[in-house]
A and B are shown apart, each in its own frame.
Chain A
Amino acid sequence: MKVTKAVILFHSTNYAMWAVDVLKANKVENKLIPVPRDLSSECGYCIQICADSVNKVEEILKHENIEYERIVQIK
């Protein structure tokens, strides 16, 4: 199956909330969702984005100094 989505995992809820706000400001489509069961993360939720926007998201998060655990592509 083609990979179409990715999730950003965070160590802390505070950063997940911040990332949502910043991605929204940058008009990047995103959705706060519970962490998928095959992934584990300290933070109870993660941000789902389109796989196509991963590079852009990485740039934005880096530019804003928003720390995240990792970005994982999902089916």
Chain B
Amino acid sequence: MSIKTSVNRNNIVYFDNSATSFPKPPAVIEAVVNYMTNVGANPGRAGHKKAVEAGEIIFNARKILSEYFGIKSPMNVIFGSNATDGLNLAIKGVLCHGDHAVTSSMEHNSVIRPLKKLEEQGVIELTVLSGNESGIISVDEIASAKKSNTKAVIINHMSNVTGAVQPVEGIGKWCKKNNIIFILDCAQSAGIIPVSLSAGNIDMLAFAGHKGLYGPTGTGGLVISDSFDVRKMKPLKEGGTGSFSDKTEQPNFLPDMYESGTLNIAGIAGLSKGVEFLKNFPGGSDAVTDHKRELQKYFIEKALKKIEGFKSYSAFDGLGVVSFTIEGISASEITKKLSDDYNIMSRQGLHCAPSAHKRIGTFPEGTVRFSFSVFNTVEEVKLALLALKNIREGN
């Protein structure tokens, strides 16, 4: 299936959508330009009509995202700069002195670094589960790591290195049964794998707005379940909220308690349109996943047949994230040649997830990663296969 777009892609093939998606749907760009051209005001700081328009943009985004992630209250959508912001808030806001946290070996640095920092400071105890050979953990493994002071399980939904998907449903049920806070990192999965906080027993979900949701960079944050008691999570920053300005204390209600300072209104305007693009996508979320699966399967099958020394670290039926190596050529050499000689953009190295590479046996060299979006086509994958064959054969 080929998704037609009027967006100018400058004749490049862009396979780095796990870093940030490109191109963006035209409506996303139009919304950003519209805000910056025609609205331009700051919501919550004034009563003039442009401030109201800006407020409507922000509210609309909260509403769209709350529906998209299966929660009732739009106020439980907390905007930040990215998924990292959301994860830091969740991790550092929830975990206190003496708590124990459980995570996996497949985590991105946005999870493992805040956790390790808390561990090094003597604040928390941390258990990092190895999982199977693909880094996928089981509920039994989590259960065996449980201690009397286990407060939270923090798991990467979909690996940004291999695309491996964790068994979220079972983990959610187990966490709920054991009264343990479940924080899900959906930086990679949001927009690709449908997630519902209410149905999945997820307390908090960190999302990136600029990857699978097709919004601008600088968007993302944390979505909090309707049933989560926010008194269990302290804000990491205090400041202006446009509410209770007569008081020197931070407000104690959502979203103001976690959102100090002016939001990225232009970006959030675009993000709404990115999510709407997905909601209105012909064939729905199944078509999004089918498209990515088709590209992934085609690429891995052909590469294994045609490119000597090709090794994939991702599943055949994964959802558009393929990590691979070619024997005898470094990952950085491959990506540089793909970029310089073929205009194909991909990413080499450790992808900010060193422990995931250790788990799959590609540390410290790393891999080449192709990550697809709905705008990529089989024709582009064919070009990449040809390019890789040429690079392998030294042409």
A43 interface contact, C-beta 8 A? yes
By a CB distance below 8 angstroms, the chain A residues around B52 are: 32, 45
In the complex, B174 has a CB within 8 A of chain A: no
Which residues of B from 249 to 306 have beta carbons under 8 Å from A? Answer: 251, 253, 255-256
Known contacts A11-B244, A21-B59: does B73 contact A65 (CB below 8 Å)? yes
Contact A13 B75 (CB under 8 A): no
- Chain A residues at the B interface, C-beta cutoff of 8 Å: 11-18, 21, 32, 34-35, 42-45, 65, 67
Is B45 part of the binding interface, using a Cβ–Cβ cutoff of 8 Å? yes
- Taking CB atoms, residues of chain B closer than 8 Å to A35 are 47
Please name all residues of chain B whose beta carbon is closer than 8 Å to the beta carbon of A12 when the two chains form the complex: 44, 241-243, 251, 253, 256
The 8 closest A-B pairs by CB, nearest first: A44-B47, A17-B59, A13-B44, A12-B243, A34-B47, A45-B47, A11-B243, A13-B55
Distance of A60 from chain B, by nearest CB (Å): 14
Nearest CB on A from B263, distance (A):
11
20 A–B contacts, CB within 8 A, in A order: A11-B243, A11-B253, A12-B44, A12-B251, A12-B253, A13-B51, A13-B243, A14-B55, A14-B59, A15-B75, A17-B43, A17-B56, A18-B74, A34-B47, A34-B48, A42-B242, A43-B44, A44-B45, A44-B51, A45-B47
Question: Is B142 engaged at the interface, CB distance under 8 Å to the other chain?
Answer: no
Q: Distance in Å from the Cβ of B328 to the closest Cβ of chain A?
A: 57
User: What DSSP secondary structure best describes chain B's contact surface?
Assistant: loop
User: How far is it, in angstroms, between the C-alpha of A18 and the C-alpha of B255 when the chains are bound?
Assistant: 12
Binding site for A on B (CB under 8 A): 43-48, 51-52, 55-56, 58-59, 62-63, 73-75, 241-246, 251, 253, 255-256
A14 touches B58 (CB 8 A): yes
Q: Which of A21, A32, A44 has its CB near the most chain B CB atoms (within 10 A)?
A: A44
Q: Flag if B73 contacts A13 (CB, 8 Å).
A: no
Chain B positions within 8 Å of A15 at CB level: 75
Evaluate whether A42 and B243 lie within 8 angstroms (CB atoms) in the complex, with A11-B251, A14-B59, A14-B75 already known: yes
Contact A18 B45 (CB under 8 A): no
From B46, which residue of chain A is reached at the shortest CB distance? A44
A46 closest partner in B (C-beta): B47
Q: Select B244's contact among A34, A42, A65, beta carbons within 8 Å.
A: A42
- Distance between A19 CB and nearest chain B CB, rounded to angstroms: 10
- A21 to B55: give the CA distance in the assembly, Å: 12
| Given A14-B58, A17-B55, A44-B44, 19 more pairs with CB closer than 8 A | A11-B243, A12-B241, A12-B242, A12-B253, A13-B43, A13-B242, A13-B243, A14-B44, A14-B62, A17-B59, A21-B74, A34-B47, A42-B245, A42-B246, A43-B243, A44-B45, A44-B48, A45-B47, A45-B52
Query: A45 to B49, alpha carbons, bound, how many Å?
Result: 10
- Given the known inter-chain contacts A12-B256, A14-B44, please indicate yes or no for A43 contacting B56, CB distance below 8 A: no
Taken together as a complex, chains A and B put the C-alpha atoms of A24 and B43 apart, in Å, by 20
Contacts A15-B75, A21-B59 given; does A67 touch B47 at CB 8 Å: no
Shortest Cβ distance from B121 into chain A, in angstroms?
Answer: 34
Query: Considering the chains assembled together, what is the distance between the CA atoms of A68 and B171 in angstroms?
Result: 37
Question: A35 CA to B246 CA in the complex, in Å?
Answer: 17
Neighbouring A residues of B241 by C-beta, 8 Å: 12
On whether the beta carbons of B244 and A17 are closer than 8 Å, the reply is no
> Residue on A with the closest CB to B254?
A14
Cross-chain contact B253 with A43 (CB below 8 angstroms): no
Contacts of A65 in B (CB 8 A): 73
Bound-state Cα–Cα, A44 to B73, Å: 22
**How far is the CB of B361 from the nearest CB of chain A, in Å?**
48
CB proximity of A43 to chain B, nearest CB, Å: 7
C-alpha gap A13/B246 in the complex (Å): 16
Most buried by A among B43, B45, B55: B55
Complex contacts, A43 vs chain B, CB 8 Å: 44, 242-243
A-side contacts of B255, CB under 8 Å: 14
Tell me, in angstroms, the Cα distance from A67 to B74 when the chains sit together.
Answer: 13
Chain B proximity of A52: nearest CB distance (Å)? 25
Task: Report the Cα distance A41→B43, complex, angstroms.
Answer: 15
B46: chain A residues at CB < 8 Å are 44
- Across the two chains, which residue of chain A brings its CB closest to B259? A14
C-alpha spacing A12/B241, complex, angstroms: 8
